[in-house]
Structure 1
């Protein structure tokens, strides 16, 4: 444990000692634009030729932000701002001496391609949060909510507003009309809002700002200029109701004798989404029986380590304003709220007798969900979410022709409450979160938690113009249930309390609750000068459990980390900007065991021609994995070294590509991995674009876990040498007839093939050499039977001591999705969807390409045809 405390001291000292040094950064006065009430209403057609715009003056004098910060831009930009009782009006003029070179790329909403202008409005004036409205030269609109002072940009927000753009002989122009009901602000007689305008000249990859923000500034929203002159604005409470109807036809391979899989299904569904402005600061979102048929399918993946896989949320109701409810307490994916738990697939399968068939729902029905969220003028950031999923039943057809029902998922209530409060002139905040999952088990589902609660607090404090920061959080979880449920939690792969060498935890089958903690503390420098650095400490206690409504991959960890980065931010010679970063971390378990030391060095260069290069290398040593043997003792993993390199071309060109290669090698050649990456984007003409992402990975591991068997009173942990090849391709095609009508295609074949050889069993799991950690089976100890099972005669007495099945596999999945979207009036849409997919196992002796061809052309697929219509009523 001494090394643990030394590492923690180094991290905190590194971060706080540097923070005591004097930092020089550029301090600039705030620019102010004073708007006026309009005299007449302009037509939002992209032409700034109405007399109405003469009520206010142009503002200009933009400053280049990237690549050469602080210099005049290649071409200037001008804007005007007016308002009336309900709307904010903005006129934009982007000057360009070569209008024929302006990139007018048509995309779907939020495409953000081509020449564009972002209007950034901090109507809260909290200097941390902003609403961003984007118009491209092609008239495509986009919107984002910015939080964390510019560190988080969320494009899931889809307000109703109006815009248009036109190219002329001076460049291009745009007009915006933004309802005040889509913004959030206080009730002061005269409003003062944070305000900035950002222009991107796509072909030059050049950005310029109205309010200059030097690169050494730590914040983005906090450094914006100000919009004055908004007098006597009346609260415009939002009321939007959006009913929808869905027609769905499914076609799939019929299963002989199964009445529930006769080859096709047809259903009609409907529901309602609503958005109600409770005050001008706080909004209530409602959904009843939501439908998510138009979202993409999850990508293919296989977890050979036994841990659950994180999938990104894609359902619109949960994606929008997702940042409000996020509570990432450690690093990576860990979060107290993971919305994919709501509406998940049922926990149980149907119990079938021979000759019976079942109709099991794929997902739990969301009866209803509500979100109450917003930020008040006093600095309170509030979010409350409530959702209920239904009892789910499998209908079972019995052999006598009768049917019965069997419950597979209980009625469940999910509740999340999140709050933050700004202090110290918006430079600091203190927040908290509480989540609750309650299931109506009704004497059933003894394997599930009856209730699960989590709570946490978080804080952040910045000083010296936000250049330095101290932040952290602490959380606690508490789950209750039957003895079976809590024992299952203790035995799960995230904990494995039964491990024979884990003396600091105990498996207690009589427990009916479990309480754990976790958290993170971090300090560092995020702005000012060329240096950035931070250090901190993370912990997850063995008893921590978040997976009822959160995401937690593993527990029993304490991590010390420290990072340092040097930035070259001024273009010079052949580069636009560069960075060099070094990282170090150490990981321990709660028994004080050192489980990993890791170092990494990474460099990034953005070249003068807009190409980029990323190169990194590192090593890991003293690696131990507590869960590797699935309940056995700690396993010593061979030390490894890795190197990676990525090169990308100019993304502003019609064709751009990225090539990457990752190499990992371990000591004694126990483990090796080669990962090849190829990505490309091609836009042959403005209305059509395509992207292709290819990843091919070759892995060889002499210590891949296979199974555990009993050999008398001894546990035998069987390992093997796996050669695992995986390949995934993601193709996207986008065609836009205009900004409101688009056709999108998504296709992804995925294959993972593993072949095993050289089976062995664990001898001394923590020995320094691999040859001492395992014993190889010789030819007299291992044989196979007619069913390809491996028979082990360990003591060579001609009697099989134990056996296991052949673990070789070849899994193939194909997912495609064709979506036609038409926004026929603002906020109201029609979707036409064709989804096609299949998955299954192929012959592992076949090549990867042959396995994919077989799955695509020879295996019957499932087809879904869907029409979804929405209409948004706005008041």
Structure 2
């Protein structure tokens, strides 16, 4: 196997890369200093705009990379002591065809748009993006070598207008929204994007070659800015929120008022402190709960703004998972009750006291990030049903979380990082420490890369010390051109455990993998593009060194010239798998037969008022049990006008002769065989009143049931044998959520939100409901929680307040 991998590496090293030699020169544009700021009204009729250099001659990125755009674009830049001003004119031969769909802030809905990316350090590592749609919706982005982050938010001014020659975007970006180096003469990295929705055409000012990996390394430059002083960056965002909660168990309404503060302070030109005192995340969208029958924890995406904004540094080495902070108490499920006691209150989340972030970059390209968060003691309430007495049980003690990361920029768009996470529950004498590192080393032409990451974990408890484990992941890749390839080796020891502040489903693994890609970026025949991926991997345990699986996968993605996109995938485990985790006993073998699955999905043109996504697939396990399954889904989208959008997502998944772990008893491990069915329906409805206010409704119903009809006992050989075990383990699980959200941005950075949330979670054992209508009726009649809340945020900027006082 190793010889084959080395041959593959040698093969892609020999691929001709001459196409990458002719990298275009950086474009240059000068910004002009002004004494009087323009009015941000989308007119561009202020005197200051008349004699300013023009950035033009955009180049097509999509659909034909490198072609001439269908429409002309002109952009001008001006600056003063407080802000950079941008005036962009998007000429259009058919102004009545300019798409102007409305959406929430930070979302695009069927609209033309203009985007400017500014990199004040001009190091192609971090760039701040400001996007304005033709309908006036603002979107802000932060781009790094890891990708784009649309969770980053800034406060800036803008206006857009459509006229008989096209449309205008006028922007005022205060220096407080950027990180500016302290020097007299500035040279900023710069690129601009224009999107013409009716043609699905994306153009850029400085050419971005799709065959070259990355886009920050293909930016132009803005010169002419000099003599500006980085401003004092100080802002306060106090909040006030109120909650009314009602449970259907007969308890009274509960009322709760909260107040807190988000403080942002730039203590020099490059570093920013972001502190949240008494955080409130009660209005965050509900997690999509599922029935998890597997041995591994379910992963949920972070939705709390504080932990998603500007946190790309914290993702180094794969050791930080922010949802550990404020998560379910560690002893939530370990409460011991007397025969006459019941639990009357058991919080599912620990309460954050405060959270603090510090991020920034030095003049020599060293990025530094720090995070601290604290959660208070969490208690469950126990009531004696005979005496009526109540007692408290601590489910998690005060916990302190820390993270520190250093990231040094290197030549050729490369970097090296060191990161540490540390969690302490002092009262329990429990601490967890993980130290990691990662780096990317690109060659000068940005055609090859050595990518590596790794970490060492250490867990100390009151019963044992120094449980030390480690992992590393090394990739050697050809990263540019039509043909790309990667060889990966990943090793995780059997004691590696980052899960007190990170997320890892399982450790104890050695995996070798080869990825081969062939991409066609420009239109040919009836297609706009085509992407191929072949994935081959071979895995073993780390200790003992035993085979686990071999995997082969193929993916094909393509888009037709009518913008119908198709994806096909085929996945196979061609020989039997040795699963050492399904049995829930360390190193206990379960042999899985070879299997295959394939899927097909389509997505139609979203520019049309009615569009559709659909998928279908099946899989088969090659054993005597004849396990097989199929799935299909359909998601119609209706957009009758520029304000209203409705999306219904319906998915059905069925497995016949499903086999999996049921329970272990008296040193015996039992598996069940049965049918597994899952139906998920999600309705999203949004109405956008204008570019400042919106109403969104989301309803999700998830129903999963497993019906067992045969049981087996797991043998030492890893195979199943018949048993007399016949316990009823059928499960019927429902998760029902409604999130209704009204938002109004009544001032820059300030917002009013009103939210209604309804939640039902019901897990029934030994009860089967074959009828969907019967099941949904029973679910809606089940105990549920309703929450009505409001929250007001008000943004206060020091410089603005000082100016008004003066």
Shorter-normalised TM range: over 0.9
The offset of 1:597, in angstroms, is 0.7
> Which of 775, 778, 788 in structure 2 is aligned with 1:865?
788
- 2:617 corresponds, among 662, 668, 690, to 662
Task: Quote how far apart the aligned CAs of 1:848 are.
Answer: 5.4
Partner Cα distance (1:295, 1:641) in 2: 38
Aligned to 2:562: 609
Matching residue within 94, 115, 119 for 1:98: 94
Deviations 1:62-92 (A, max 9, x none): 1111111111111111111101000110011
* Deviations, residues 119-166 of structure 1 (Å, cap 9, x unaligned): 111112111221110000000000000011xx5111111110011111
- What residue in structure 1 maps to residue 137 of structure 2? 140
Query: What is the aligned counterpart of 1:524 among 477, 500, 520?
Result: 477
**How far is 1:322 from its partner?**
2.3
State which drifts further: 462-471 or 677-686: 677-686
Q: How does 1:227-626 map to 2 (within 5 A)?
A: 227-255=222-250, 262-327=251-316, 329=317, 335-349=318-332, 350-353=335-338, 354-398=340-384, 399-424=386-411, 426-441=412-427, 445=428, 450-483=430-463, 511-528=464-481, 530-590=482-542, 591-620=544-573, 621-626=575-580
Aligned residue among 159, 179, 190 for 2:185: 190
Measured at CA, do residues 723 and 14 of structure 1 come closer, stay the same or move farther in structure 2, by a change above 3 Å?
farther
Q: Secondary structure at the match of 1:311?
A: coil
Contact 2:647–2:684 under 8 Å retained in 1: yes
Q: Which residue of 1 aligns with 2:167?
A: 172
Matching of residue 738 in structure 1 with residue 725 in structure 2: no
Q: Which sits farther off after the overlay, 19-28 or 749-758?
A: 19-28
CA 174–543 in structure 1, closer or farther in 2 if over 3 Å, else same: same
* Separation in structure 2 between the aligned mates of residue 415 and residue 557 of structure 1, nearest angstrom: 28
Q: 1:720 to 1:351 in 2, by over 3 A?
A: closer
- What CA distance in whole angstroms lies between the structure 2 residues aligned with 1:847 and 1:225? 62
Once residues 271 and 35 of structure 1 are traced to their aligned partners in structure 2, the CA distance between those partners, rounded to angstroms, is 40
Query: Residues 270 and 94 from structure 1, CA distance in 2 versus in 1: closer, same or farther, beyond 3 angstroms?
Result: same
| Secondary structure at the counterpart of residue 685 of structure 1 | coil
* 3-state secondary structure, aligned to 2:323: helix
Deviation at 1:202, TM superposition (A): 1.0
Are residue 161 (structure 1) and residue 121 (structure 2) matched? Answer: no
SS of residue paired to 2:176 = helix
Task: Report the secondary structure of 2:50's partner residue.
Answer: helix
Confirm or deny: 8 A CA contact 1:594 1:622 kept in the other structure.
Answer: no
Q: Deviations over 1:511-566 (max 9, x none)?
A: 433100001000111113x1111111011100001111111110110110111111
Preserved contact between residue 345 and residue 363 of structure 1 (Cα < 8 Å): yes
Aligned alpha-carbon RMSD (Å): 1.9
Provide the rounded CA distance (Å) in 2 between the counterparts of 1:373 and 1:140. Answer: 28
Question: What's the CA shift for 1:863?
Answer: 0.7
Q: In the alignment, which residue of structure 2 is the partner of 1:507?
A: none
Cross-structure match for 2:804: none
Task: Say whether 1:679 aligns with 2:635.
Answer: yes
SS of alignment partner, residue 639 of structure 2: strand
Of 651-660 and 474-483, more deviation after overlay is shown by 651-660
- 1 CA distance for matches of 2:455 and 2:233? 35
Q: Distance in 2 between matches of 1:674 and 1:324?
A: 40
Query: Which residue is equivalent to 1:63?
Result: 59
Distance 1:409 1:857 in 2: 32
- For the structure 1 residues 479 and 121, does the alpha-carbon distance in structure 2 shift closer, same or farther, using more than 3 Å as the test? same
TM-score, with length taken from structure 1: 0.87
Residue 589 of structure 1: CA displacement?
0.6
2:597 to 632, 637, 642: 642
Structure 1 CA distance for aligned equivalents of residues 417 and 95 of structure 2: 49
SS in 2 for 1:810: strand
User: C-alpha offsets along residues 559-596 of structure 1, whole Å, 9 cap, x if unaligned?
Assistant: 10111111112212201111222110111112221211
What is the CA-CA distance between 1:694 and the residue it aligns to?
2.1
Deviation at 1:699, TM superposition (A): 1.6
Task: Identify the match of residue 210 of structure 2 among 215, 218, 239.
Answer: 215
Q: How has the CA–CA distance of structure 1 residues 852 and 271 changed in structure 2, closer, same or farther, with 3 Å as cutoff?
A: farther
Structure 2: distance between partners of 1:366 and 1:54: 53
Aligned-pair CA distance for 1:851: 4.7
Q: Comparing 842-851 with 235-244, which one deviates more in the overlay?
A: 842-851
Task: State the Cα distance separating 1:174 from its structure 2 match.
Answer: 1.2
In 1: Cα distance, 2:365 partner to 2:351 partner: 36
Please identify runs of 4+ aligned residues in structure 1 that moved more than 6 A: none
1:521 and 1:537 in contact (8 A); partners too: yes
Task: State the secondary structure of the residue aligned to 1:100.
Answer: helix
Q: Deviations over 1:646-682 (max 9, x none)?
A: 1111122222211111211111254322121222332
Partner residue, 2:745? 823
| Cα 1:588/1:737, change in 2 over 3 Å | same
* Cα pair distance change 1:74/1:864, threshold 3 Å: same
Q: Is the 8 A contact 1:19 1:524 kept in 2?
A: no
Equivalent-residue separation in structure 1 for 2:61 and 2:287 (angstroms): 37
For 1:595, what is the secondary structure of its paired residue? Answer: strand
Q: Which residue of 2 aligns with 1:488?
A: none
8 Å contact kept, 2:5–2:514: no
Paired residues, number: 788
Distance 1:427 1:163 in 2: 32
Note the 1:805-820 alignment, pairs <5 A.
Answer: 805-820=727-742
How far residue 746 of structure 1 moved from its aligned partner, in angstroms, is 1.3
Partners in 2 of 1:561 and 1:122 — Cα distance? 35
For 2:466 and 2:84, how far apart are their aligned partners in 1? 55
- Distance in 2 (alpha carbons) for counterparts of 1:84 and 1:21: 45
8 Å CA contact retained: 2:136, 2:160? yes
Q: 1:172-197 CA distances to partner (integer Å, 9 max, x unpaired)?
A: 11100000111012122111111111
> Residue 184 of structure 1 aligns to a residue in which SS?
coil
Residue 722 of structure 2 corresponds to residue 776 of structure 1: yes
Question: Which residue matches 1:627?
Answer: 581
Q: Show structure 2 runs of 5+ residues with no match.
A: 799-806
Which of 677, 700, 706 is equivalent to 2:662?
706
CA distance 1:217–1:848, change in 2 (3 Å): farther
Are the counterparts in 1 of residues 730 and 768 from structure 2 also a CA contact under 8 Å?
A: no
Residue pair 1:748, 1:816 contacting (<8 A) in 2 also: yes
Q: How far apart in 2 are the matches of 1:310 and 1:761?
A: 30
What secondary structure does 2:107 align onto? coil
Would the aligned equivalents of 1:812 and 1:855 in 2 still touch at CA under 8 Å? Answer: no
* 1:458 partner SS: strand
**1:26 maps to which residue?**
22
Task: Flag the 1:439–1:13 CA change in 2: closer, same or farther, 3 A.
Answer: farther
Q: With the length of structure 2 as denominator, give the TM-score of the two structures.
A: 0.95
SS at match of 1:203: helix
Cα deviation, residue 53, structure 1: 1.2
Match of 2:120 in 1: 123
Question: For the residues of structure 1 that align with 2:14 and 2:258, how far apart are their CA atoms?
Answer: 60
| CA deviations over 1:763-783 (Å, ceiling 9, x no partner) | 4534xxxxxx22224xxx46x
Answer whether contact 1:814 1:855 (CA < 8 A) is retained: no
CA distance in 1, matches of 2:553, 2:749: 47
